[in-house]
Amino acid sequence: MKFSYTKFPAGGKFPSEIADLPIIEITLETRRGTAMYHCLVDSGADYCYFHADVANAMGIKDIKKGKLKPTTGIVKGAALEAYLHIISYKVGGWENKAEIAFSSELSVPYGILGRNGFFDYFKVEFNHPKKEIQLTPFEYTLHK
């Protein structure tokens, strides 16, 4: 699957600054609900991270019922309380289950797809000059 980079707020000192980022759209699912969300493919992130509002949209009313996963580095190196939940997600026609971290302190306008839960299901190739990202599912990724 090939995706073009997406123009998104880059953050930093000037929040109005727009950058081409490796952002893809995924669908998150629980038995109680579904949420489509834009996500940054981030090889520097340990886990997949989403704002608590995304969990709420899928019917998870109390993220703190998940396993606490203290995290640093996502937001200017500050500590962040995140809670892990097992969530199904779809990218293109491929479906996986992963531990996803939810936090009400996450301040980026997209989810983050990291090594645990995303890179262990897909070979990821960045072609920055062409502003493209290529995902190739590993054999154990489920096709739906």
pLDDT, residue 144, reads 52
pLDDT, residue 18, reads 83
Task: Tabulate helix, strand, coil % of the chain (nearest 5).
Answer: 10, 55, 35
pLDDT, residue 106, reads 85
Instruction: Judge whether 112 and 40 are in contact, CB under 8 Å.
Output: yes
Residues contacting residue 14 through CB under 8 Å, at least 6 positions apart: none
Q: What is the CATH number assigned to the segment(s) 2-143? A: 2.40.70.10
pLDDT, residue 33, reads 83
pLDDT, residue 32, reads 86
Q: Could you say which residues of the chain have pLDDT below 70?
A: 10-16, 73-77, 140-144
- Domain spans of the chain? 2-143
